[in-house]
Amino acid sequence: MHHFQYKQDELYCEDVPVRRIAEEIGTPCYIYSLATLRHHFLTFDSAFTDARHLTCYSAKANSNIAILKLFGSMGGGVDIVSGGELYRALKAQVPSNRIVYSGVGKTVEEIDFALREKILMFNIESTQELEQINRRAEAMNTRAAVSVRVNPDIDPNTHPYISTGMKRNKFGISTDIVMQAFEDAKNLKNVDMIGLDCHIGSQLTDVTPFVDALKRLRALIERLRQRGADIRYLDLGGGLGIVYDQEAPPQPHEYARALLRELQDINCTLIFEPGRVIVGNAGIFVTRVLYTKRTPVKNFVITDGGMNDLIRPSLYGSYHYVQPVARNLQETEIVDVVGPICESGDFLARDRDLPLSSQGDYLAVMSAGAYGFSMSSNYNSRRRAPEVLVTGGDYFVIRRRETWEDLVGSETLPDFLEGGLQ
């Protein structure tokens, strides 16, 4: 469910015409629906009402502080994977005891930052990381709460770039090493081993891999408790998929029912890290047609938005539904929707049957709320797009478009170049 609908052949976000935003803010731009964000968060969170749990939104999906603030105000936490995301979560006033730090490559600077802020826990991904956190906690005269990320060797049946729970992936610790990690931790004086974590991948459309992983985790928890481990938290990650095209992912209540059936009497606080399932269909990417070009082989619609703005199609071969902001019943043609980037891999859609486009038309790339702006870049020295949040009949710019000055603001000329080389 989302709040992007046509009204008299004009695409609206809630009660605001998308064309109005595009004309007043300019393109390309990202537009998010507050009502959709709220609905998706509540739908996911309420599915686990019968269990002791914390929904920690995955900041990497979309890290705008307005969105983090929204979910924090609704009782949610944040799952982070960098010091920058921790900074954003704190700027959004998310309580630090609702922040979980995941990720395979935490630096000393980032570990120290998280320790100072007294986050809920670290999800550690190697025994060396565990030892590093213990050293930093000792140096800062504090204790670190730690959960071990388990790699259960489960095939999530998703794109290989977003599969994270198999032996060949870089994430987590294999189940045979986890037991030893808990034993070794008994000799570490500044860490408290309080949980297990498991995240097997993203954009999953079947609950079976989740359930298979959970069965292995449950057996592991029982073994650890028999050895005296105090397992208080079970972080089940995220990864629930959304509809981009013809997918049929389970609804949050179906996902919850399948998991809770396996979690009876587990006696843990459950942590979830949903990202895409909350923000994915809550956002669109709007771009303007610059030119159309017809060749004997291909027809192209060239837009002002490119792979630097929305890299998912180029990086993953991902499908995003594309539709005109002003709908009409004219004839269609098969086209590639491409951007201005100097790369043959710069495309938003390929071989799509779309209504004939003209210069100045606006196109909406749907389901762009997750991994859209957060993965954007300044490639080709392009300014990153603005982000707009719509609520009812109003809209707010929650990130302005970058300026030319922003592009070079952090760069400097060394003295020997100031006057030019002699």
Mean pLDDT, the chain cut into blocks of 10 residues (422 residues total): 94 98 98 98 96 97 98 98 98 98 95 98 92 97 95 56 42 74 89 90 80 85 90 90 87 90 90 96 98 96 98 95 91 96 96 96 98 98 98 98 97 85 63
Decide if 342 is catalytic. Answer: yes
Provide the pLDDT for residue 167: 47
Distance CA 387, CA 376 (A): 12
For residues 129 and 123, give the distance between their C-alpha atoms in angstroms, rounded to a whole number. 10
Range of the domain at 244: 103-272
DSSP-assigned beta bridge partners for residue 29:
286
Phi, psi of 173 (to 5 degrees): -120, 135
CATH code of the domain containing 14: 2.40.37.10
170, 118: one domain: yes
The last residue of one of the domains, among 233, 251, 272, is 272
Measured at the alpha carbon of residue 402, what is the angle toward residues 416 and 367, in degrees to the nearest 5?
A: 135
Contact between 188 and 133 under an 8 Å Cβ cutoff? The reply is no
Contacts of 211 (CB under 8 A, 6+ apart): 258, 259, 262
Structure tokens at 178: 């986890």
DSSP characters over 318-348 = ----EEESB-----EEEEEEE-SSSSTT-EE
Number of structural domains the chain divides into: 2
341, part of any domain: yes
SS3 content of the chain, % helix, strand, coil (to 5): 35, 25, 40
Same domain, 299 and 267: no
Amino acid at 262: E
- Regarding whether 231 and 336 lie in a shared domain, the answer is no
Residue 153 is predicted with a pLDDT of 67
Same domain, residue pair 395 and 285 = yes
Give the span between the Cα atoms of 322 and 334, in whole angstroms: 12
Per-residue model confidence (pLDDT) at position 132: 97
CA distance 314 to 344: 10
Would you state the pLDDT for residue 250? 85
What beta strand segments (E) does 111-200 contain?
Answer: 121-124, 144-151, 173-174, 191-197
132 and 199 share one domain: yes
